[in-house]
Amino acid sequence: MIYTFLLSCLITATSCNRDSYSPSEDDGIKKSGDVTIVTTNTVRAYDLTKQYVDFSTKSNMSPNTITLNPNQKFQTMDGFGAAITGSTCYNLMKMSQEDRSRFLTETFSDAEGMGMSYIRIAIGCSDFSLSEYTCWDKEGKNNFGLQTEETKYVIPVLKEILAINPNVKIMGSPWTPPKWMKVNNLSDLKPYDSWTSGQLNPKYYQDYGWYFVQWLQALKKEGIDVYSITVQNEPLNRKNSASMYMSWQEQQAFIKQSLGPQLKAANLKTKIYAFDHNYNYDDIADQEDYPVKIYQDAGAASFIAGAAYHNYGGDKAELLDIHDQRPDKELVFTETSIGEWNDGRNLEKRLMDDMREVALGTVNNWSKGVIVWNLMLDMEKGPNREGGCQTCYGAVDISKANYKNITRNSHYYIVGHLSAVVKPGATRIGASGYSNAGLTYAAFQNTDGTYAVVLLNESDDNHKITLADGEHHFSYDVPAKSVVSYRWANKK
C-alpha cells in the first residue's frame, strides 16, 4: 500500500514533519521491507507515519514476544469507518473538488490511503441532517421519493467514495419513520405529529416495510448497494431531534411480519441488524438483552443477521455476553461520538481511551466492524440542529473560513489504524505472550494470507515488542502513548 501522507499534510491543520509522509530517496529512512508499520502517538510526532522493518535473521530470544496463532479463529471482519451524515456531506461538498477528492482518497482508497471500508448513512434524516424529513412525508405510495439532502449531498458523496473504493460497505439506519405512521402510544393509538419520540402504529407495519424496500431500491438505481440496515437508530431514546421508541417486542413483530418478508420478496440480500443502541439498554429493565429476546422467536430471528451497539451507556463487555448467549448471531459496533463532554479534541486523552474502548475493545469482544459517528463536521460543530447534538466533534473537523484546513481527531485515527492493515474478510486470530499494563492488541489474518496486528501502548515508556508468526519474527520499538499497526506477508 502507498500512503499519501504528504498530501494529507497539505489539507490538515496539524503540523507535519518528515515522519508524516513517505520519505524521499535521500532521507536515509528505509523505503521498503518485510513488514509495513503505521504509527501515531498522542503528540503527533508520529502521525499515521509509515515505516518498514525486515524479518530478523537471528533466533528469537526476546521475552517481549507476542506470538500469533492462526489456528485460533474468531469473527470475520466486515470493515471500519464512519457515518456519512447530511452534515458531513454538506461540509464535504463545500470543499473544492480537488481538496475533497484528496481527502476522500486519503480516507477510503485501499491503494493510496487507509482504506476505510464501512460507512453508515441515515434512511431519511438524522440528528445531523440539514432538516427533518423522511422520504415519504405524505401518505400515498406515489409520494415516496429521495429528498434534496440525498440528491444534492449524500448520493454525490457516496458515488465519489465508491469510485475510489468500490468495495466500501454501506449501512442504512432510520432515525424516524414518516410522522403519519406514528402514534403517541400503543394503547391510545392517537396520531403523533412530531419528529421526536412516538411509536410505530402497527397498522402501518406493511407500509413501513415497503418504505425500506423502496429506499433500498432507489439507492440501487443510483448505483449504490446497501450492505446492511438497522431497524431503528437508538430505539430506546425518545429525546433525539428525530427519534422513535421501539421496544424489542415491537421490533420483533415488525421484522417478522413485514420487514423480513418484504426484503425477501424483493430479492434483497441486505443484512438486518437488530437493536442499534447502548450497552446498558438505557437502564430500562424489561429491555435488557434486547436482541436476544427478539431472537427467541425463530421466525423473526431467521431474518436477522445480528445486533448493533453504541457505547453511550454501559460497558463493551455486553458484547461478549450477547455473543455467548447467541454465538450464531453477528455483532457490529455502529456509533460513538466525541465532543465537549469527553474532551473530544484532546488527542492525548482520547486516542488512548477510544483505541482501548472502541476500536480494540469491540473487536476483541466479537464485533465484526467499527463505525464511528460523523466523519466530518466544521470547527463550530455543525451543521447541527436544535434538539440534536450541538456539542459533538467530527472524526475530522474542517475550517468554515476556507473549507480547506482539516484537523484529525481520535476517531479518524482509531478507524484508520484498523482499516490500514485489517481488510474486509480478515479473520481475527489468536495471539498471546508478552503482556504489560497499558498494552492492548488484536491480531488478524487477511484473505490474501497477510497477517495484521493493531497494538496500543498506553504507558509512558517505549516498549520494544517482538511479533512472531511461527515462521518469522521481527521487533519494533513501540513509542510511549501510541497506536501501531503492522502488516506482513506469510512467507514460507
Indicate whether 335 and 477 sit together in one domain: no
Q: pTM for this structure?
A: 0.94
SS3 category, 230? strand
Please check whether residue 301 lies inside any domain of the structure.
Answer: yes
Give me the tens of pLDDT residue by residue for the chain, a chain 492 residues long: 333 333 334 333 333 333 332 333 334 567 899 999 999 999 999 999 999 999 999 999 999 999 999 999 999 999 999 999 999 999 999 999 999 999 999 999 999 999 999 999 999 999 999 999 999 999 999 999 999 999 999 999 999 999 999 999 999 999 999 999 999 999 999 999 999 999 999 999 999 999 999 999 999 999 999 999 999 999 999 999 999 999 999 999 999 999 999 999 999 999 999 999 999 999 999 999 999 999 999 999 999 999 999 999 999 999 999 999 999 999 999 999 999 999 999 999 999 999 999 999 999 999 999 999 999 999 999 999 888 899 999 999 999 999 999 999 999 999 999 999 999 999 999 999 999 999 999 999 999 999 999 999 999 999 999 999 999 999 999 999 999 999 999 876
Indicate whether 407 and 461 sit together in one domain: no
Joined grid coordinates for residue 41: 502517538
The last residue of a domain, from among 392, 421, 450: 421
Please check whether residue 303 lies inside any domain of the structure.
Answer: yes
- Per DSSP, 473 falls in state E
pLDDT per residue over 57-83, tens digit each? 999 999 999 999 999 999 999 999 999
Indicate whether 228 and 171 sit together in one domain: yes
Indicate whether 58 and 111 sit together in one domain: no
Joined grid coordinates for residue 10: 497539505
Indicate whether 378 and 349 sit together in one domain: yes
Residue 38's domain comprises 5-74+433-488
The last residue of a domain, from among 395, 421, 447: 421
- Per DSSP, 256 falls in state I
Half-sphere exposure of residue 260: CA atoms within 13 angstroms, side-chain side? 17
Please check whether residue 426 lies inside any domain of the structure.
Answer: no
Neighbouring C-beta atoms of residue 343, cutoff 10 Å: 13
Please check whether residue 428 lies inside any domain of the structure.
Answer: no
CATH code assigned at 467: 2.60.40.1180
Joined grid coordinates for residue 446: 487477511
Cα-flanking dihedrals φ and ψ of residue 367, to 5°?
-70, 135
CATH code assigned at 317: 3.20.20.80
The last residue of a domain, from among 421, 441, 456: 421
Indicate whether 441 and 389 sit together in one domain: no
Indicate whether 265 and 342 sit together in one domain: yes
Indicate whether 388 and 480 sit together in one domain: no
CA distance 366 to 455: 17
Indicate whether 85 and 67 sit together in one domain: no
CA distance 156 to 160: 6
Number of domains in the chain: 2
